[in-house]
Amino acid sequence: MVAVALVALVVGGAWVYATFINDAPEEFDVADLEDRLSETTSTAESSTTATPSTTVESDSEGTEASTPTTTPQAEGDQQQWTITEGSEVGYRVAEVLFGIDTEGVGRTEEVSGELSLAGTLITSANFTVDVASMQSDDNRRDGQFRGRIMETDTFPTASFALTNPVDLGVEAREGAAVTTTIEGQLTMHGVTNDVTVEVAAKIEGGRLGVIGSVPVIFADFGILDPSINAIKVQPEGLIEFVLIFSQQ
Residue 128 has pLDDT above 90, yes or no: yes
- Comparing 72-81, 99-108, 121-130, which segment has the lowest mean pLDDT? 72-81
Q: If one looks up domain 2-44+73-247 in CATH, what number appears?
A: 2.40.128.110
pLDDT in the model for residue 39: 83
Q: Which residues pair with 159 in a beta bridge?
A: 128, 187
129-140: pLDDT as tens digits = 999 999 999 999
SS3 46: helix
Q: What is the pTM of this model?
A: 0.76
| Residues contacting 221, CB < 8 A, separation 6+ | 188, 189, 191, 193
Instruction: Say how far apart CA 212 and CA 125 lie, in whole Å.
Output: 14
Are 236 and 216 a contacting pair, CB within 8 Å? yes
Question: For the segment 46-85, what is each residue's pLDDT rounded down to a tens digit?
Answer: 444 434 433 333 343 433 333 333 333 435 579 999 999 9
What residues does each domain of the chain span? 2-44+73-247
Residue 97 reports pLDDT greater than 60: yes
